[in-house]
A = this chain, B = another copy of it.
């Protein structure tokens, strides 16, 4: 098995085994403990956190009959979301997105294997997931999940991941609105940088969610016997949610590109303001400074210099010129 990055993380395996009557949950130390669950009639959910230890994944794959190329895809965590149908099982790749630790957007790959009566989920990271609600429903026998098969479990997991996107987009939109306010109040270079970061995040979101639409759609329409008919209406519901999220992402992209325009024109506006101020200031002082220079000349024969009221007259002329210019600028709305 040829793998891109050999990151040997710890791997945590957890098994949940249930049907309408019984429920069993336990962490697993050795991957071999999973093998007996393969052929039991109950629904088995094997959750693997951390895909760095390729040995464990290889063993699990051999036991459950998973193709080596799919095992490679599980370990290489830069796959696009996709669905593959190998007849005896379905393989689904998804992206789980979170704003963990402060404001960084983290993208984590989740691979799901749906067999006749088992689901195996592989998570890239060890920091937890969005499936806690599902575990609660299973433990406390809430909703219909315990009555349904492995396909309903897959639906629940898809639903949990897609619902989490709504939370991510809400966070995204909140930050976008904060920046939008800053844009009008006080545009600065870091505002533009923030817009740029949002744009990059929206690209990441888009890349994660766009292919999802195709995945869920082909899951819903597939004639695979692994997806039972009562589950299809639920998949349709998840499909609608995915479309909605794509819609929202496209909308944020439109708004973000409008924000760049506003930023640039605010900057321009400010420059304009500064230039007008400077122009008015200089235009008022330059002519009166010129007059002062004229009467600073040392010509012997300058009659005005000997007029008794010459000085005051010149001061008056200067004041008149300054006042007229200011009135002119006022009339031109430069001020």
Q: Give the interface of A toward B (CB within 8 A).
A: 67, 69, 72-73, 78-80, 82, 84, 184, 186, 189, 192-193, 196, 199-200, 203, 207, 233-234, 236-237, 240, 243-244, 247, 251, 254-255, 258, 260-272, 274-279, 281-283, 285-290, 292-302, 304-311, 314-315, 333-334
List residues of chain B with CB within 8 A of the CB of A306.
300
Contact pick for A311, options B196, B265, B279, B297, CB 8 Å: B297
- The verdict on A308 contacting B301 (CB below 8 Å), with A255-B200, A267-B269 known, is yes
Chain B residues positioned under 8 Å from A203 (CB to CB): 251, 254-255
Q: Are B277 and A283 closer than 8 Å at their CB atoms?
A: yes
Q: Among B72, B247, B271, B308, point to the contact of A271 (Cβ < 8 A).
A: B271
Other-chain residue from B240, B286, B294 in contact with A82 (beta carbon distance below 8 A): B240
Taken together as a complex, chains A and B put the C-alpha atoms of A189 and B273 apart, in Å, by 11
Q: How many copies does the complex hold?
A: 5
* Interchain CB contact under 8 A, A258 and B196: yes
In the complex, the answer to whether A289 meets B296 with C-beta atoms within 8 Å is no
Query: A199-B258, A244-B78, A287-B285 given as contacts; is B305 within 8 A of A295 (CB)?
Result: no
Contacts of A263 in B (CB 8 A): 265
A78 to chain B, nearest CB (A): 7
19 A-B residue contacts at CB 8 Å? A69-B234, A184-B189, A199-B258, A264-B268, A274-B279, A275-B275, A277-B279, A278-B283, A281-B286, A289-B289, A292-B293, A292-B297, A293-B293, A296-B298, A297-B298, A298-B298, A301-B309, A301-B310, A302-B311
Expressed in whole angstroms, the minimum distance between the Cβ of A178 and any Cβ of chain B is 16
In the assembled complex, the CB of A24 is this many whole angstroms from the nearest CB of chain B, namely 26
CA distance A287 to B255 in the complex (A): 46
The answer on a CB contact under 8 Å between A274 and B275 is yes
Residues from chain B with a CB closer than 8 A to the CB of A279 are 274-275, 277-278, 281
